[in-house]
Structure formats: C-alpha cells, structure tokens
C-alpha cells in the first residue's frame, strides 16, 4: 500500500545486525517497494552484497563502487529517486558522520544529497548508544527532521544487556510507512475499540468470542500513521500494543464501556471495531465451579450496548460502528446504522473474524454502499479512514 512502488534506499552499515537487513529487504520487497541497497565497506565485511542483490533484485551499491568509472553522478541519481532512505542498522559511526556533515562514502553522500525523509534504525553496544556524544548526534539529527526508530532493549551481540538492539523489523517498516503517510488526520482525536471481551463465569472460565483484534489494531495504527492522536481500548488479544498511542487494556464489556465512555467526550472520531459480548453471566463465581452429576445452567444477562450509548450522547463525534452478520448483511447493517445513530457502518461477515483479510462494505448515513474486495486488514483500515477523512471534510 503505502510502500508500494516506492523507491527505498536501504543503507546498511557495519554492525552484526546487518544480517537482519536481509530480512528487512525481503519484507520491503513483499510490500511492493523497489529496494536499492547501499552498503558501507564495513557492512560488506559482515554480509556479502550478493545476498542483498538477490533479495532486492537490484544492483547493490557499495563504497567500493567506483563513481568515476561507472557513472559519475550515480549517487545523485539514487539520492534523487529515493522516496525514503532507511539506514538499518545505523552504527554510531554513520550517525556521527551525518550529524556532523561528513560525506566521505557513497551512503553518507547519498544521505547528504537527498531531500527525502531519512529514517535511522540504530543498533550498537549499549555503552556506545548511551555515550553522550552519540546521544548529542542523535538529538541534532532529530532537531533537523531526521527520523529514528529504536533501538530496543535486550540481549546484545556483544554479550551486554541493554538498549542497543535493532528495532523489530515490523517497527522499522511501520516507521517508514509513517514517514511517507499523508498526515490527513492531524488534529483528530481517534478512539478505537478492538478485540473480544471476556465475561467471567468463575476464575478460570469465561464467555467470549474468537475476535483477534486485528481489524481494530490495524485501524488504530493507520490513524496514528496519518497524524491522529489515538486511544485504543482493547479486549484480550495476543497482538502487541502499537507504540505511541494511548493503550487501554480491558477484559469485560463493562470495563470496555467504562474506558471507552471516559475517552468519548474528547474524541472527534470513534471507531467501534470491538466484538463486545452481548451477554454476561449473572453470577461470576469467586471460586472455581466444581463438576457435579447434575446439569449446570448458567444464567446470562445483557451487557450494555456501548455504541448505542455513544449514539445517544453524540455531539461532535463522527461515529463508526461495525456490523458482524451472517445473513442479510447490508440490510442488517443499515438497521444498526439507524438505531445506533451512526455516521458510518462497516459491514462484515463472520469470515474475516480472526483472519488477516477481510471483505467489507462501507455504508454511509445517506444509504450509499461501497462494497470493497477482499483486502488485508491493513488495507481495509486505510480505506475506512479514507472515507472518514472525506466525510469529515479534511
């Protein structure tokens, strides 16, 4: 999507994490990007350029590259066609050079000659990372608009434990997408709910559903990427909370209601992607229920409808609901749009419930229906936000 057909210069510098840049190349290519690897001389000591060439399908430029022989302005060409330059792993050395205006090899020359966004993913020994000179160089680059992702904490190749590990590849990709995203949701305060809720029967058993949370998380991440301030209220999910958003973890429908209603008044856009349980046991036993010969009936009662409550209290919020249906999808979704006082409803069948893809129809309050093809949940999230941005007139 965002990275599709983008020209990415991937700068690889000389650290042990250079091997991870191979997988990064593969993932970027999978996203449809044209990756142009540029390796420093020391990076080529760690990994053979041929590996990058094979994975990217492009020639690998190294510092050994002879500018004078091949094409005298090749570095300017690459610098000009790049949509983004990602330096991963970025050593203290490359950070120091760029921060101080030194362009003494192909990579630093390209960085210096390019006007596109530059994203550094540092990886180094913790003491190096914490060195005040390195920190000063990073601050200096940030001040002039260079982007950074990571490093993470953890076990380092040098045997130390601490901050210095290359950020997870998915975080680097997300940061690159964020650099290239239009910021058309800037100023919006977006509240998203995601995942299932769990209604306890006793300390070890509960009523729930198989929602994974993927759709809501994809929406929260996409809104953040597009410049919004995001609050994500999530029921139990194995997904990693997205960084740089307000994340509220809840279990029951009542807890989700409390958290969502607390953030509701100050929100401008609300997207209820959670699969909230409609029922909860009337009694939640404090101790584990022991088995018996007799039948066991669990009495259940309704939970509050959070979205209905939001619709009733709606002021300036743009309110988006989801409708999960097995039959008469559009008709039923339209009913929910009306009764819950929504501005938009996203109708989906149970097929996409815990999958990575989803096929949805977006229904406007005017009754207009846009049926989308089967898409990844990340793409569906972008499409939903495209419609919202248009509707709120940004």
- The backbone torsions φ and ψ at residue 139, rounded to the nearest 5 degrees and listed phi first, read -60, -40
Give how far Cα 100 sits from Cα of 13, 131, 133, Å: 17, 16, 11
Site for ligand CTP in 273-292 (CB under 6 A): 274, 276, 278
Q: Closer to ligand CTP by CB, 151 or 195: give it.
A: 195
Q: Closer to ligand CTP by CB, 55 or 323: give it.
A: 323
Tell the smallest beta-carbon distance from residue 310 to ligand CTP (Å). 7
# chain residues binding ligand CTP, by CB under 6 A: 14
- 253 touches ligand CTP by CB under 6 A: yes
Residue from 92, 141, 173, 307 binding ligand CTP (CB under 6 A): 307
Q: Which of 198, 165, 163 is nearest to 19 (CA)?
A: 165
DSSP string computed for 59-90: PPEETTS-TTTS-TTHHHHHHHH-SEEEEEEE
Residue from 17, 272, 363, 388 binding ligand CTP (CB under 6 A): 272
Task: Indicate which residue of 116, 158, 179, 244 is catalytic.
Answer: 158
- 303 touches ligand CTP by CB under 6 A: yes
**Whole-number CA gyration radius for the chain:** 25
- 179 touches ligand CTP by CB under 6 A: no
Q: Closer to ligand CTP by CB, 305 or 386: give it.
A: 305
- Catalytic site includes residue 116: no
DSSP string computed for 316-357: S-EEEEEEEESSSHHHHHHHHHHHTT-SEEEEEEGGGTTSSE
Residue from 165, 224, 225, 336 binding ligand CTP (CB under 6 A): 336
Using left for φ > 0, alpha for ψ between -120 and 50, and beta otherwise, residue 223 falls in: alpha
3-state secondary structure of 291: coil
Q: Which stretch binds ligand CTP (CB under 6 A): 177-185, 199-207, 300-308, 358-366?
A: 300-308
- The backbone torsions φ and ψ at residue 239, rounded to the nearest 5 degrees and listed phi first, read -75, 150
Residue from 79, 192, 306, 384 binding ligand CTP (CB under 6 A): 306
Catalytic residues: 158
Binding site for ligand CTP (CB under 6 A): 253, 272, 274, 276, 278, 303, 305-307, 321-324, 336
């Amino acid at each position: 999507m965002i990275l599709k057909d983008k020209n990415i210069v991937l700068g690889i510098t000389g650290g042990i994490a250079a091997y991870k840049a191979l997988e990064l190349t593969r993932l970027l290519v999978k996203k449809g990007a044209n990756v142009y690897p540029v390796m420093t001389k020391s990076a080529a000591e760690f990994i053979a350029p041929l590996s990058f060439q094979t994975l990217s399908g492009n020639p690998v430029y190294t510092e050994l590259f002879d500018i004078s022989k091949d094409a005298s302005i090749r570095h300017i060409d690459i610098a000009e066609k790049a949509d983004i330059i990602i330096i991963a792993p970025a050593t203290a050395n490359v950070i120091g050079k760029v921060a101080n205006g030194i362009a003494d090899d192909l990579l630093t020359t390209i960085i210096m000659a390019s006007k596109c966004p530059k994203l550094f993913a540092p990886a180094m020994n913790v003491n190096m990372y914490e060195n005040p000179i390195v920190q000063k160089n990073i601050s200096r680059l940030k001040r002039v608009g260079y982007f950074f992702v990571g490093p993470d904490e953890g076990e380092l190749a040098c045997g130390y434990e601490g901050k210095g590990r290359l950020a997870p590849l998915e975080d680097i990709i997300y940061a690159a997408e964020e650099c290239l995203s239009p910021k058309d949701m800037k100023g919006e305060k977006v509240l998203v709910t995601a995942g299932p809720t769990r209604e306890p029967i006793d300390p070890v058993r509960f009523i729930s559903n198989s929602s994974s949370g993927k759709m809501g998380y994809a929406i929260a991440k996409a809104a953040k990427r597009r410049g919004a301030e995001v609050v994500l209220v999530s029921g139990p999910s194995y997904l990693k909370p997205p960084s740089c958003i307000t994340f509220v973890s809840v279990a029951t429908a009542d807890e989700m209601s409390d958290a969502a209603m607390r953030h509701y008044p100050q929100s401008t856009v609300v997207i209820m992607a959670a699969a909230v349980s409609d029922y909860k046991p009337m009694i939640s036993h404090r101790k584990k229920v022991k088995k018996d010969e007799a039948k066991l009936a669990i009495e259940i009662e309704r939970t509050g409808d959070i979205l209905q409550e939001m619709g009733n209290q709606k002021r300036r919020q743009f309110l988006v609901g989801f409708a999960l249906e097995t039959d008469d999808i559009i008709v039923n979704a339209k009913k929910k749009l009306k009764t819950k006082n929504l501005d938009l409803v996203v109708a989906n069948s149970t097929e996409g419930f815990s999958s990575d893809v989803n096929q949805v129809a977006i229904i406007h309050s005017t009754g207009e229906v846009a049926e989308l093809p089967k898409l990844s949940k990340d793409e569906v999230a972008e499409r939903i936000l495209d419609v919202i941005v248009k509707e709120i007139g940004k």
